[in-house]
Amino acid sequence: MTRQIGRAAYLDATLTFQESLYAAPQGTTARRDRSVRLGFGTGYQFLRSLRAYLGYEGERRESNVEEIVGGSSIDPFRYSVNRVLFRLEAGWL
């Protein structure tokens, strides 16, 4: 969702859920991955051909498949990512 504020600024927010299903070989459990992504930020247009964006994006993914490592069960497909974004866009018309 994007919302313009005034003439040159805007706020941006996203929330995404995703589920991926994979076919399983006979006699095994099918893999199912789930991920959630959250992002928000703000942008500003300085000139007609120059704008900037500052934001944050977080993503988390997990799976139903587990491995035994050192006697403990872990999810090898699980991860969590946090990003800070700075984007400067310049162009011409």
Give me the DSSP letters along 9-70. EEEEEEEEEEEEE----TTSPPPEEEEEEEEEEEEEEEETTEEEEEEEEEEEEEES--EEET
The confidence band for 54, taking pLDDT boundaries of 50, 70 and 90, is very high
pLDDT digits (tens, 9 = 90+) for 2-49: 999 999 999 999 999 999 998 888 878 888 999 999 999 999 999 989
- What pTM was computed for the model? 0.74
Residues in CB range of 89: below 8 A, 6 or more apart: 50, 51, 52, 53
Residue spans of the domains in the chain: they are 2-90
d(CA 20, CA 33): 5
